[in-house]
Amino acid sequence: MKTSANHWRIWIAHGCEWSVAGVLGVAGALKLADPARFATDISAFRLVSGWLAGGLAVYLPWLELTVTAGLLWGKTRLAARLLSLGLLAGFSLALASAWARGIDVRCGCFGNAPAGSVVAALARNAGLVLALLAAARLRRGSRN
């Protein structure tokens, strides 16, 4: 029998996951609108270029949308949380790398939306990671 505390843990975990799904879903959808622009944004990081940047510009938005669906569907939630953490870590490493090398990059996180600062993007990613970790902890705690 589920206790009231467990019931609330599950709903808070849902809220954390749905928040991350919302951010990743919007980001993926906006990038799909202009993959050429996203490829240019990826190339600006000077980590990959040419066909690889173009491939990532097509592939990453679909991965974000797939992960979004996974976070919303119970049976795939764990895998989606892990993939989300991987995406956020990769995005954060790319941003931090460009910043450390003094490269002024446009994040490209939300398609053609105005670019924010790298620090703001890193802070947002850290918040999303914390939400995913909180969801995992809350779900684990609700089984006890």
Model confidence over 19-55: pLDDT tens digits?
Answer: 999 999 999 999 999 999 999 999 999 999 889 999 9
pLDDT on residue 19: 97
Could you tell me the residue ranges of all domains in the chain? Answer: 4-142
Rounded CA-CA distance 43/114 in Å is 18
pLDDT of 143 strictly over 70: no
Q: Which are the contacts of 93, defined by CB distance < 8 A and separation ≥ 6?
A: none
Model confidence over 86-104: pLDDT tens digits?
Answer: 999 999 999 999 999 998 8
Nearest to 138 by CA among 7, 2, 45: 7
Q: If 0-12 CB within 10 Å is exposed, 13-18 middle and 19+ buried, where does residue 3 land?
A: exposed
Amino acid sitting at position 140: R
Nearest to 19 by CA among 113, 88, 96: 88
pLDDT on residue 110: 77
Please report which residue ranges of the chain form alpha helices under DSSP H: 4-32, 35-44, 50-72, 77-100, 118-142
pLDDT on residue 144: 41
Rounded CA-CA distance 71/58 in Å is 21
Average pLDDT of the chain?
89
